[in-house]
Chain A
Amino acid sequence: GAGVSQSPSNKVTEKGKDVELRCDPISGHTALYWYRQRLGQGLEFLIYFQGNSAPDKSGLPSDRFSAERTGESVSTLTIQRTQQEDSAVYLCASSQGAAEGYEQYFGPGTRLTVT
C-alpha cells in the first residue's frame, strides 16, 4: 500500500518568506509526527498529533513554526519569515498509535533551503 508522502520534495525560498510543507500519512494511522534533520545531525522532534487530542508542540523551535492536521489525514507544517537556520530536511512520520512499540513510518522528507 501507499506509504507516507510529502510535498514538495525540495523547496528553495528566500529569507523572510513563508513556506508550507505537506504530509499525507498512511491511511488509518492515528499518530503523525514532524521532525527536522539538519545536515549531518540526528532527527529533532518538532510536533506530534494523535487523533483529536491537542497536539504536542513542545519541540517547535519558535513561534514562527506551526502545524495543523485535519482529522486523521493531511498535515501541514508552516514556517513563517524563514531564516537561513531553518534550512534542513523536514521529515514526517505516522504510526498506528502513539503507544510504545508502534513503529513510525517515515516519508521521504522535504529538503528546505533558505537563501
Chain B
Amino acid sequence: GQNIDQPTEMTATEGAIVQINCTYQTSGFNGLFWYQQHAGEAPTFLSYNVLDGLEEKGRFSSFLSRSKGYSYLLLKELQMKDSASYLCAVFTGGGNKLTFGTGTQLKVEL
C-alpha cells in the first residue's frame, strides 16, 4: 500500500525558518510534489523533486532522498501569509497518480 507521513501541525514565528518533513513508503516512485493549500482554497504547486538533492526557489526549498524515502520543505523568512496547509504528494505507479499525505497545518505567529 501507499503511506505518506507528515506532522499534523506546526507553529513558527514570523521571520524564522521552518522545515516540514515528509516520509513515504510507496509502491513505485516517479517524483515528489509539495503543494500549498490555504483554507477553503485549491492547492497550488510549490515544488517538484525527482532526483536526490535540494531544489531552491526563492524563500522555499525542497529536498529529496530517495534511498531514505524522505523529503522536506524549507520555508525561510516566514510571513503571516505562509500560514496554510502544506501537502506532500508522491507520483506513484504508472506515473499518473498523485498520492497525497494528510498535510501539515502551519501557523505563523508574530
**Residue A68 is within 8 A (CB to CB) of chain B in the complex:** no
Cα distance A44–B48 when bound, in Å?
19
Shortest Cβ gap from A62 to chain B (Å): 19
Chain B residues near A33: list those with CB within 8 A: 98
- Whether A106 contacts B44 by the Cβ 8 Å rule is yes
**Residue A1 is within 8 A (CB to CB) of chain B in the complex:** no
- Whether B42 contacts A108 by the Cβ 8 Å rule is yes
Contact with B along A71-115 (1 / 0, CB 8 A): 000000000000000000001000000111101111111000000
Chain A residues near B100: list those with CB within 8 A: 35, 42-45
Cα distance A43–B103 when bound, in Å?
9
Chain A residues near B91: list those with CB within 8 A: 100
Chain B residues near A41: list those with CB within 8 A: 102
**Residue A14 is within 8 A (CB to CB) of chain B in the complex:** no
Interface residues on A, range: 20 to 34
Cβ-Cβ contact count across A and B, 8 Å cutoff: 57
- Whether B96 contacts A56 by the Cβ 8 Å rule is yes
Among candidates B97, B99, B101, residue contacting A56 with C-beta atoms closer than 8 Å: B97
Cα distance A59–B4 when bound, in Å?
17
Shortest Cβ gap from B60 to chain A (Å): 14
Chain A residues near B96: list those with CB within 8 A: 31, 48, 50, 56, 98
Contact with B along A50-80 (1 / 0, CB 8 A): 1000001001000000000000000000000
10 new A-B contacts, CB < 8 A, other than A42-B100, A105-B45, are: A31-B96, A42-B4, A42-B103, A43-B100, A48-B97, A56-B96, A104-B45, A106-B42, A106-B43, A108-B42
**20 pairs across A/B with beta carbons < 8 Å?**
A4-B42, A40-B102, A42-B102, A43-B87, A43-B89, A44-B100, A45-B100, A48-B96, A56-B94, A59-B97, A91-B43, A99-B95, A101-B48, A101-B50, A103-B33, A104-B45, A105-B45, A106-B43, A107-B42, A108-B42
